Amino acid sequence: MKRIAESTVRRLSLYLSFLEGTERQGLKTISSDELARLGGTTSAQVRKDLSLFGSFGKRGLGYSVPELSEKLREILGLGRQWQVCIIGAGKIGAALARYRGFAERGFNVTAVYDIDEAKIGKRWENLTVRPISELETDAAKQDFDIAVVATPAESTAAVVKQVVRAGIKAILNFAPVQLSVPADVTVRNVNMAMELEGLSFALSNRGE
Amino acid sequence: MKRIAESTVRRLSLYLSFLEGTERQGLKTISSDELARLGGTTSAQVRKDLSLFGSFGKRGLGYSVPELSEKLREILGLGRQWQVCIIGAGKIGAALARYRGFAERGFNVTAVYDIDEAKIGKRWENLTVRPISELETDAAKQDFDIAVVATPAESTAAVVKQVVRAGIKAILNFAPVQLSVPADVTVRNVNMAMELEGLSFALSNRGE
DNA sequence: ATTACTTTGTGAACTTATTCACAAGCGTCA
DNA sequence: TGACGCTTGTGAATAAGTTCACAAAGTAAT
C-alpha cells in the first residue's frame, strides 16, 4: 500500500467522529459533500481520502454510515485495545491518567512511570507510580503499545531512550522537545507552546 | 507579505525553542544545518523558512543565536503580552489554568468561564469561574486576545458563538469538534483522540 | 423501460511545499 | 592580498497534496 500522509489520517479521524455523530442522529447514509461540509474540506478531498483504502460508497446514494464507520475504525486500527503507559507523573501526566477519553477509544492506561524518587509509589486512580528503571523489565512481561511522554524537557531524551529500549513503537510526546528515535518508532507531538505561538503569529500578521 | 503556511509557522516555533536551548549553552552562532538536525528537517528547509521573512544569517558563519531568537520572537508576535480566557471549567480547563507554560511565554490567563451553574463562583488559583453569559460584556471592558475552549462536545458550538460575538479573534480548541467561525478568526485544534488514532493507524499499518 | 437526477471514483490539471544545487558572501590564515 | 573553506540565500527542479471535471453507476419517478 502506498504511503498515507499524516494529513489524510487526521481527516479520516475527523470523518469518523462526524460519522459517530451522524449515527447517533439515526441517519443511515451520508454523502461526501456532507462530510466535507462538516470537516471544512471539499467533497473531492473526502472521496480521494477514502479511495486510498477502497471503494465504500454507492453512486447516487452516498456512504452507509455504519458501514463507513466500521471501515474507518478498521483502517485506523481501532478494532482492538491498545496498552498505554504514561511516563512522567507530573501535572500533565496526572491529567492524562484521569482522562476518560483514552479508555473510550480502547486505549488502556495500565502503568505510570517516573524518574523522581519522591513520586514513585504514589497511587493514582488505580495505578501506582513505578520507577522508570523498571520499564524495560515490565515491558517484557506486559506489552505496551504506546508510551505517553509527559516529562520535563531536560529529562526527556533519557526517558525516551528507555522507552525505545523497551521496544515501544509509538510515542505521544507532550514534552517541548523534538524526539530522536529510530525510524520504526512513530511519534506524535502535542506542544502547547507551539499552538499558542501559532495563534500569536496569526494575530500579529493579520491583513498583510 | 505572502501567505505563510501553518507548517512553516510550526517550524519557526520549533527553531525558536532550539535557539533558546542553544543560547543557554552559551553558543553564539548556529548554522542552518545544526538547526535542521535538531528539528529533524533539512538545512534548505530552514533557510527557506527564514528567507520568507528576511535574511538573518551571515554566509560562512551561520546565524547569530540571540539575533535570530529575537527576530523569531518578533515574527511570532511574542514581543508582547496576550490576554487569554479559558472557557470550560472542567478537567482540561483546570489543568490549563494551572499550566505555567502560558505565563512563561507571555500568555496571561485572566479569566475562566463556564456555562454550568454548579461551577460558577468557584475559585481557581487566583481566578473565579464566571458565567459565560458575561463574556461579551467582560470583553468590552478587558480585551481578550485568545480564548481557550475546553468544553464538552455538545455545548461547544454555542460557546464558540459567544466567543465570536465577544470579538475574540483566536481560539485554541480542545473540544473534539470542528469549529465553524468567520474567516477572520483563527482556530488551532488540539485533539487527543486524533493523535491517538494517528498512532493507532501507524501501529496497525507498519510495513505495508 | 426510459428519463432525469444524484453521487461516487478517479485520471488529469493544478497548486503548494520541499529539496537540490550553486553562485555569492564572509571569515581565516598565510 | 589572495586562496581556501564554510554557509547563506535563492532560482529551478521535484515531489506531494488538492481540486477539477466527468464517465460510470446508482436511485426514483413516470
pLDDT (tens digit per residue) in A44-79: 999 999 999 999 999 999 999 999 999 999 999 999
- Looking at residue B122, its pLDDT comes to 92
Tell me if residue A27 falls in helix, strand or coil: coil
The per-residue b/e assignment along A36-51, b for 16 or more CB within 10 angstroms, e otherwise, is bbbbebeeebbbebbe
Strand-pairing partners, residue A127, are A124
Radius of gyration over alpha carbons of chain B, in Å? Answer: 20
For strand C, the positions having any atom within 7 A of a protein Cβ are: 5-11, 16-21, 24-27
Q: What is the mean pLDDT of residues B3-21?
A: 96
Whole-angstrom CA distances from A14 to A38, B177, B189 are: 9, 8, 12
Q: Which one has a higher pLDDT value, A206 or A113?
A: A113
The string of pLDDT tens digits covering residues B49-104 is: 999 999 999 999 999 999 999 999 999 999 999 999 999 998 889 888 888 888 98
Cβ of B194 within 8 Å of Cβ of A76? The answer is: no
- Tell me: the pLDDT tens digits for A180-208? 999 999 999 999 999 999 999 999 998 66
**Pairing assessment for the beta strands A57-58 and A62-64 based on DSSP bridges:** antiparallel
Strand C close to B45 by CB, under 7 A: yes
Is there a contact between A197 and B95 if contact means CB atoms under 8 Å apart? Answer: no
Q: Find, in chain A, the residue whose alpha carbon is nearest to that of B98.
A: A91
Question: Nearest nucleotide, C1' to the C-alpha of B56?
Answer: D8
Q: Is the pLDDT of residue A99 over 90?
A: no
C-alpha cell at A85: 503507559
Q: Count CB atoms within 10 A of the CB of residue A56.
A: 15
Q: Which residues of B touch A199 (CB under 8 A)?
A: 146, 170-172, 186, 188
Q: Determine whether the distance from the CB of A63 to the nearest atom of strand C is below 7 Å.
A: yes
Q: B141 near B165, Cβ under 8 Å?
A: no
Instruction: Inform me whether the pLDDT recorded for B174 exceeds 90.
Output: yes
d(C-alpha B75, C-alpha B53), whole Å: 8
Q: Provide the residue type at A59 as one letter.
A: R
Distance between B64 CA and the closest CA of chain A, angstroms: 21
pLDDT of amino acid A71:
98
Q: What is the pTM of this model?
A: 0.93
Pairwise CA distance, residues B9 & A202, whole Å:
9
Output B206 or A204, whichever has higher pLDDT. Answer: A204
A17 and B190: CB-CB below 8 Å? no
Q: In whole angstroms, what is the distance from residue A178 CA to residue A84 CA? A: 21
**A158, A166, A147, A153: which is closest to A115 by C-alpha?**
A158
| DSSP, residue by residue, A86-138 | EE--SHHHHHHHH-THHHHTTEEEEEEEES-TTTTT-EETTEEEEEGGGHHHH
Q: In this complex, which residue's CA is closest to the C1' atom of nucleotide D20?
A: A44
